[in-house]
Amino acid sequence: MACVEHNNKSQHNPNRALRTGISAVAAVLLAAGTLSAVAACTPSNQAVGDTQSVNATPTHDALQGGTTVTVGLIGNPNGGADEQVLSACERDGIDATYISTEHKTGDELTQAQVAGIDDVIHRHMHIAMISGLELTDNNREALTAALQHAREAGVAVVLLNPVNEPEDETLYAAALRVNDRMMDAQPLHQVLTEIAADDAHDKDITVSTLG
């Protein structure tokens, strides 16, 4: 009997093998699905929110009807146009959250900007808008990595009145320059909605915060 029991234990169990095979296949499909989802968030050679040619007919709308555009505004340490932008967003139905970097400089400012970008990603907002971005030799590596993280997460990056922009234009959808006196300035809320919807728009845009 002992030999029989030993033989039974060592015999191939087709049901167990089938379950193991299914589990393995499921794991592969899950991994593939995860990778596909990440890849789907990251357009090839283009910025999130800037995949449509200004001369082309839009092929899709990334926003569902009635969806409120959500923006995380990572502030300028010197204030800049932040207050104007926040007031315009509130007036025109853009859901904007302000992430302050007031009085921060150097490494502390870089850390606050990186943390702000990560916060926008974790909140699943449509747009991370960075006010007064100034890339330097000291902060370029950290900020570039944070912008790439946003890109991979499918978050559109908007630069508000940047001092200088990244050389890699796939890291941001548009640079917005606030000038309420320009007659041809585009309404801020319209531009933000176009970017969130991945509609065609220019890379460098003069915007107005006036109603």
What is the domain range of residue 11? 2-41
Whether residue 123 contacts residue 98, with contact meaning beta carbons closer than 8 Å, is answered with no
48 is a domain residue? no
Q: What mean pLDDT is predicted for residues 98-119?
A: 97
The answer to the question of residue 55 being in a domain is no
| Shared domain check, 200 and 106 | yes
Residue 47 lies inside a defined structural domain of this protein:
no
pLDDT in tens, 5-62: 334 444 445 444 444 444 444 444 444 444 344 444 577 778 888 777 655 444 334 6
In the chain, how many domains are there? 2
Residue type, 75: G
CA distances, 33 to each of 27, 55, 64, 206 (Å): 10, 33, 23, 40
Confidence check: pLDDT of 1 > 70:
no
Whether 95 is covered by a domain: the verdict is yes
Domain assignment present for 51: no
What SS3 class is residue 110? helix
Q: What is the pLDDT of residues 133-145, one digit of tens each?
A: 999 999 999 999 9
Q: Nearest 5°: phi and psi at 120?
A: -60, -40
Give the mean model confidence (pLDDT) for residues 188-194: 97
Interatomic CA distance for residues 150 and 154, integer angstroms: 6
User: Are both 107 and 204 inside the same structural domain?
Assistant: yes
Alpha helices (H) in 64-153, listed in sequence order: 82-91, 106-122, 140-152
* Mean pLDDT of all residues belonging to the chain: 83
Which DSSP letter does residue 57 get? Answer: P
What is the spatial distance between Cα 37 and Cα 24, in angstroms, rounded to a whole number?
Answer: 20
- pLDDT of res. 66: 78
67, pLDDT greater than 60: yes
pTM of the model: 0.77
Domain check: are 18 and 111 in the same one? no
Q: What is the pLDDT of residue 41?
A: 56
Do 8 and 82 lie in one domain? The reply is no
101: CATH? 3.40.50.2300
Q: Are residues 28 and 107 in the same domain?
A: no
Whether residues 77 and 175 share a domain: the answer is: yes
